[in-house]
C-alpha cells in the first residue's frame, strides 16, 4: 500500500485545485481498506474514500487520510434472460460502459462518459440521457466500518432518488462501497426519449450508435476536466411546487421544466443562464460559457473563488426566481463534509 504524507490533491480531483491532505493512500484490496481504518496511528484522523474526485470540492486542506479506490475486477454470469455484472468499486465507470457494449452486454450506453469510479455511481445514483444507475442496479456490496464485514444491499435498500441514495444519509461515512451488481436484460430496448437522442432513427438502432451519440453530445457540451477543471453540474436541478412553477411560467413562458412525481423539476442551467451569468468569473473560477450549470477552474482558481462564485449564482437565482439551488458537488472541509450555506455564514 502506497502512503504519501502532506500530499497535493490537485491530480486526484477533477477541479484540479491545489489543496493538500495529511495522508494519501491507494487501496487495492478490501484488506487494505480495513488496515487504513484500523491503523492505530490514524484512529483519531478523519478519513475520506475517494474515487476519481469528479464530484468534490476540497474547501480547505484536509486534515486526515484520503483513500484512493483502486479495487479492480469484473465478473459476468448469465441467466436465461439477463447478464449479471459484478464489478469492483475502483473500476473506471466510462471504461466499464465502453467495455460492456463491446462485449454485447447492452443497457449502459446512455450513461457513457460519466467520469468516476464504479463504486461511486450508487452514491448520487448517477444519471444522464433518461437513464439512472438505479434502473440497472441489482445490488451494492459495502464494507461496514463498524463490523468490518461485507454486506450486500439490494437496490431497494439503497433508497435511490434523483442524485440521492441511502449513502448520502443513514450510511454516510458508515460504509465503503466495494463492488456493485448490474443486471442487463438480454432483450435490449433502446431508450431515446431524452432531448438530443430523439432525432436518432429507431429502426435498426444499436446500443453502439446511442453510445456514440451520447459521447458526441457530452463532448460538445461539457468541458473536459483534463483541459478545464470542473465537477460536472455544480447544482442539482431544483424541484418546486406546481403552484410556484405556474407563477414563474406566467413571467417566463420559456422556462424549461419537467414534471416528476415529487413536483416540477426546473433546468438549473436555464435559470443561471437567464441571470446572464455565463462567463461571469470570481478570481480564476468561471460559470462555463457553454453550459451555465458547470463552474470551471478557468485560471488557477482557489477553492474560495469557486465557493464565492457558487454563492453569487445561488443568490442571483434566488433573487430572480425565488428558488434555492442545492449543490450537487460534495464540499469537503478540513475534517468533515460541509456545504455552501455553512461557508456563506463563515465568509459572508
Ligand atoms: P468522487 O468525487 O471521488 O467522490 C464523490 C463522493 O463519494 C465523496 O463524498 C466521496 O467521499 C464518496 N465516495 C467515493 N467513493 C466511495 C466509496 N467507494 N464508498 C463510499 N463513499 C465513496 N454525474 C451524473 O450523475 N451524471 C452526469 O452526467 C455527470 N456528468 C459529469 C460530467 C463531468 C465533466 C464531471 C466532472 C462530473 C460529472 N458527473 C455526473 C458527476 C460525477 O461524474 C459523479 O458524481 C460520479 O459518480 C463521481 O464519481 P467519483 O468516483 O469521481 O466520485
Ligand atoms: N440550458 C440553458 N442554458 C444553459 C444550460 C442549459 O438554457 O446554459 C437548458 C438547455 O437548453 C436544456 C436544459 O437547460 O433545455 C437542460 O440542459 P441539459 O440537457 O444540458 O441538462 P442539465 O439539466 O443541464 C442534466 C444533468 C447532467 C446530465 C444531463 C443529461 C443534473 C444536475 N444534471 O444536466 O448531469 O448529464 O442532464 O441527462 O441533473 C451531473 O450531474 O454532473 C451532470 C452533468
Read off the pLDDT of residues 245-260 as tens digits, 9 standing for 90 and up. Answer: 999 999 999 999 999 9
**Which position among 163, 213, 286, 330 bears the catalytic label?**
163
What pLDDT does 336 receive? 97
Residue 162 pLDDT exceeds 70: yes
Position 42 confidence tier, pLDDT thresholds 50, 70, 90: very high
Cα 95 from Cα 97, distance rounded (Å): 5
pLDDT number for residue 346: 60
Active site residue 233: yes
> Does any ligand 1 atom lie closer than 6 A to the CB of residue 217?
no
pLDDT at 2 (0 to 100): 86
- 73 pLDDT exceeds 90? yes
Ligand 1 pocket test, pick from 9, 46, 50, 171 with the greatest ligand atom count within 8 Å of Cβ, gives 50
The side-by-side arrangement of strands in the sheet containing 285-287 is 229-233, 294-297, 285-287, 281-282
* 269 grid coordinates: 442551467
pLDDT(155) > 80? yes
Give, using CA atoms, the residue closest to atom 46 of ligand 1: 116
- Residue nearest to ligand 2 atom 16, measured at CA: 267
Assess whether pLDDT exceeds 90 at residue 348: no
Ligand 1, residue 14: give the atom nearest the CA: 36
CA distance 21 to 37: 16
For the CA of 69, the nearest atom of ligand 1: 18
What are the distances in angstroms from CA 34 to CA 39, 53, 145? 8, 21, 8
How far is residue 293's CA from residue 267's CA, in Å, rounded to a whole number?
A: 9
**What is the CA(218)–ligand 1 centre distance, in A?**
16
Atom of ligand 2 minimally distant from the CA of 278 = 8
pLDDT at 344: 85
Is 44 assigned a catalytic role? no
pLDDT bin (cut points 50, 70, 90) of residue 92 is very high
What is the pLDDT confidence band of residue 345, given thresholds at 50, 70 and 90? confident
Residue 79 CA, ligand 1 centroid: distance in Å = 31
pLDDT higher than 60, residue 39: yes
Distance 23 CA to ligand 2 centre (A): 36
The CA distance from 74 to 134, in Å, is 19
* Per-residue pLDDT, 297: 98
Task: Please give the mean pLDDT across all residues of the chain.
Answer: 97
What percent of the chain clears pLDDT 70, i.e. is strictly above it? 99
Query: Which residue has its alpha carbon closest to ligand 2 atom 28?
Result: 128
Q: How far is the CA of 210 from the centre of ligand 2 (A)?
A: 18
| The model scores a pTM over 0.85 | yes
Amino acid at each position: 500500500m502506497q502512503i504519501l504524507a502532506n500530499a497535493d490533491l490537485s491530480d486526484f480531483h477533477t477541479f484540479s485545485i491545489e489543496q493538500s491532505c495529511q495522508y494519501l493512500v491507494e487501496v487495492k484490496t478490501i484488506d487494505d481498506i480495513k488496515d487504513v481504518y484500523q491503523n492505530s496511528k490514524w484512529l483519531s484522523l478523519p478519513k475520506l474514500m475517494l474515487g476519481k474526485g469528479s464530484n468534490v470540492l476540497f474547501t480547505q486542506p484536509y486534515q486526515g487520510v484520503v483513500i484512493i479506490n483502486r479495487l479492480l475486477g469484473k465478473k459476468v454470469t448469465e441467466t436465461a434472460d439477463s447478464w449479471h455484472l459484478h464489478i469492483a468499486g475502483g473500476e473506471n465507470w466510462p471504461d466499464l460502459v465502453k467495455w460492456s457494449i463491446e462485449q454485447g452486454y447492452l443497457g449502459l450506453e446512455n450513461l457513457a462518459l460519466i467520469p468516476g469510479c464504479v463504486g461511486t455511481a450508487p452514491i448520487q445514483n448517477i444519471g444522464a440521457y433518461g437513464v439512472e444507475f438505479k434502473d440497472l442496479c441489482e445490488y451494492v456490496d459495502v464494507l461496514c466500518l463498524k463490523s468490518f464485514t461485507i454486506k450486500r444491499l439490494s437496490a431497494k435498500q439503497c433508497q435511490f432518488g434523483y442524485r440521492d441514495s441511502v449513502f448520502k444519509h443513514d450510511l454516510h461515512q458508515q460504509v465503503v462501497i466495494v463492488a456493485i451488481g448490474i443486471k442487463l436484460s438480454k432483450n435490449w430496448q433502446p431508450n431515446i426519449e431524452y432531448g438530443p437522442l430523439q432525432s436518432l432513427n429507431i429502426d435498426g438502432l444499436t446500443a453502439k450508435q446511442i453510445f456514440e451519440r451520447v459521447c458526441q453530445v457530452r463532448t460538445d457540451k461539457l468541458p473536459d476536466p483534463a483541459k478545464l477543471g470542473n465537477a460536472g453540474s455544480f447544482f442539482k436541478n431544483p424541484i418546486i411546487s406546481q403552484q410556484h412553477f405556474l407563477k414563474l411560467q406566467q413571467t417566463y413562458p420559456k422556462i424549461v421544466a419537467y414534471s416528476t412525481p415529487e413536483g416540477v423539476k426546473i433546468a438549473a442551467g436555464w435559470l443561471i443562464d437567464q441571470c446572464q451569468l455565463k462567463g461571469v468569473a470570481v478570481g480564476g473560477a468561471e460559470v462555463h460559457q457553454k453550459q451555465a450549470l458547470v463552474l470551471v477552474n478557468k485560471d488557477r482558481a482557489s477553492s474560495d473563488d469557486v465557493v464565492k462564485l457558487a454563492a453569487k449564482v445561488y443568490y442571483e437565482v434566488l433573487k430572480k426566481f425565488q428558488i434555492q439551488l442545492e449543490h450537487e458537488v460534495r464540499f469537503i472541509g478540513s475534517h468533515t463534509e460541509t456545504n455552501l450555506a455553512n461557508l456563506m455564514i463563515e465568509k459572508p
